[in-house]
Amino acid sequence: MSNQIETIKSLLEEMMEKMSIKADIEILENNESVQFVIKTEESGILIGENGQNFIALNHVIKRIIDKQFKNDEKFYFSIDVNDYQLKKIEELKNLARMTAQRVRYFKKEIAMEPMTSYERRIIHAILTEYPDIITESVGEGYDRKVVIKPYLE
């Protein structure tokens, strides 16, 4: 695992260098995964509009690592830029809770905006705390979204 961690860190440092972005990379380890946090004053370039560059960066790094270590044990890691992902997760949790409250009050389903599979997973997970609410993903591709419904027995 330490070989993979060093490879990912080196890959991120090389990418930052080639993009002429001054950055420090912090490694945060826990039992389940490793998080690489890129600290930079040029985060806008790495995050992009609506996080598009951030999603692309994660995708590219994960594909490179999957290909390089395809025969090794599955290794879970995430990449963040100036805690962007952490803030995004908190925003999604708050949005999910507020929407669930609206569904409870009006007793009508509400379809959220289209989101990535990762974002949908966060919404589904946080709303498992609400026994009177059910969630469902609907749509195809980039139009896939979460629908939050009251649980009617």
pLDDT tens, residue by residue, 111-147: 999 998 889 999 999 999 999 999 999 999 889 999 9
In this structure, the answer to whether residues 30 and 58 fall within a common structural domain is yes
Compute the distance between CA of residue 41 and CA of residue 23 in angstroms, rounded to an integer: 8
Question: Residue 1: pLDDT above 70?
Answer: no
What does the pLDDT look like over 47-59, one tens digit per residue? 999 889 998 999 9
In this structure, the answer to whether residues 47 and 106 fall within a common structural domain is no
Q: Can you give the CATH number for the domain in which 64 is found?
A: 3.30.300.20
State the pTM of this model.
0.76
Environment class of 31 (CB within 10 Å of its CB; exposed 0-12, middle 13-18, buried 19+): exposed
What is the share, in percent, of the chain residues with pLDDT greater than 90?
72
